[in-house]
Structure 1
């Protein structure tokens, strides 16, 4: 069992480190659609392995409140960010809503367990992570049931927010593990940096329709990019 645990940790760390590198490549090639999509896919593959190995570690070897919340957040925003660019302006499906509800309920039940039990946890880290998870799942549910027509054109902004959030989750887990002596700052600072990046890239994207290319050409370009995910 110890050998399996060691192998699981090695796989988790290796793919997490690789994911950080691939995420930067995808971000660096954002203006080159072919490379951006290729490295974005690779990042999602590594994120999937990271999430699966994290759940294995949490379920069978060591339970960590921070890592569980981060795993739920990273896994969900990675999935939802991919779905945003795949569906584009189409409405999310029953599968999407089901996964959203499962993640939301799971996080709520685990928080209740933390508050009622003797498990060691840091509110300064868990509450912000849970808040980010509630924010994105709540948005997805509200969009699906009530504001789909109004928010359907925001899919590219959603993609930016969610994929950078997934990267933030991996980076926070990495820095929190590598720099435990600086907790909780080593866990919080990556989130602050990535939120700043989210604001920057969304603002830059929102200003592009005002450029000389025109809004119609921007939409055509974005449509070609999203079609390659299908």
Structure 2
């Protein structure tokens, strides 16, 4: 049992360390020039440590039986980070098998989460549960629907997808962090970072849209 506890503590330390690095790298990526060297490098660091956060989070839930609500926060950030990176690489809405597999795996995880909640009762704030699960399902549904958009109509929507998904992945990690270290302010410490992230993402999307519009007419 002692070894088991030590393994759990080690997993927690790695999880917290990776999450902290991911937050710092994500913030640098958001604040630096988009498309620049620092932005790309920070973005890759963010995604790399996000992967570690996801892995240690899954170990914490399924091996050590920790707070299963962290599973949905982890899956939200993981899926949005993955999808945001994939759309940047393809710059299109062309269908790829790996994207379908990951989306379906995410949906299955969410079904498990909701089944589990139903079996034990809703012990967390409904606003957190429904908003988190709802947003993730909305993004997965969009990712399926976007394959039906004609290529000439889809155009440069990938830019706005990338912005929204990557900032949402960052704000998801931030929500998990503030919700953990500031439990006395629940549910606000859990959902306000996500609200702020959405506002920031919309602001960036409007900025990019206006900039591209100006460049089109100059």
Same fold (TM over 0.5): yes
Q: RMSD of the TM alignment (CA)?
A: 1.8
What is aligned with 1:20? 23
Find 2:52's aligned residue among 46, 49, 54: 49
Which moved further from structure 2: 120-129 or 169-178?
120-129
Contiguous gaps of at least 5 residues in structure 1: 218-230
- Deviation of 1:209 (Å): 1.6
Aligned partner of 1:147 in structure 2 is 149
1:109 corresponding residue in structure 2: 112
SS of aligned partner of 1:30: coil
User: Is this contact kept in 2: 1:65–1:121, CA < 8 A?
Assistant: no
Normalized against structure 1, the TM-score is what? 0.87
Confirm or deny that 1:85 pairs with 2:85: no
Could you tell me how far 1:118 is from its partner in structure 2?
Answer: 4.4
> Is 2:32 the partner of 1:29?
yes
Task: Choose which of 148, 156, 161 in structure 2 pairs with 1:158.
Answer: 161
> Hey, what's the Cα distance between the residues in 2 that align with 1:10 and 1:68?
17
Matched length: 214
CA, structure 1 residues 168+206, in 2 after alignment: closer, same or farther (shift >3 Å)? same
| CA apart distance, 1:30 | 2.6
Superposition deviation, residue 216 in structure 1: 9.6
Distance 1:43 1:99, change over 3 A: same
* Residue aligning to 2:216: 215
Q: Deviations over 1:166-215 (max 9, x none)?
A: 0011100000011011111100110111011011001101101232xx23
Distance between the aligned counterparts of 1:94 and 1:5, measured in 2? 35
Gaps of 5+ in 2: none
> Residue 69 of structure 1 contacts residue 107 of structure 1 at CA under 8 Å; is this kept in 2?
yes
Cα distance in 2, alignment partners of residues 81 and 203 from structure 1: 18
- Pick from 121, 125, 131 the counterpart of residue 122 of structure 1: 125
| Alpha-carbon shift at residue 122 of structure 1 (Å) | 2.8
- Counterpart Cα distance in 2 of 1:157 and 1:118: 37
Which digits, 9 at most, give the CA deviation of each residue in 1:20-60, with x for residues without a partner? Answer: 11111111113461111011100101101011100000111
**Cα distance change on mapping 1:180 and 1:95 into 2, 3 Å:** same
3-state SS of the aligned residue for 2:92? coil
Between the aligned partners of 1:50 and 1:85, the Cα distance in structure 2 is 22
Match of 2:124, SS? coil
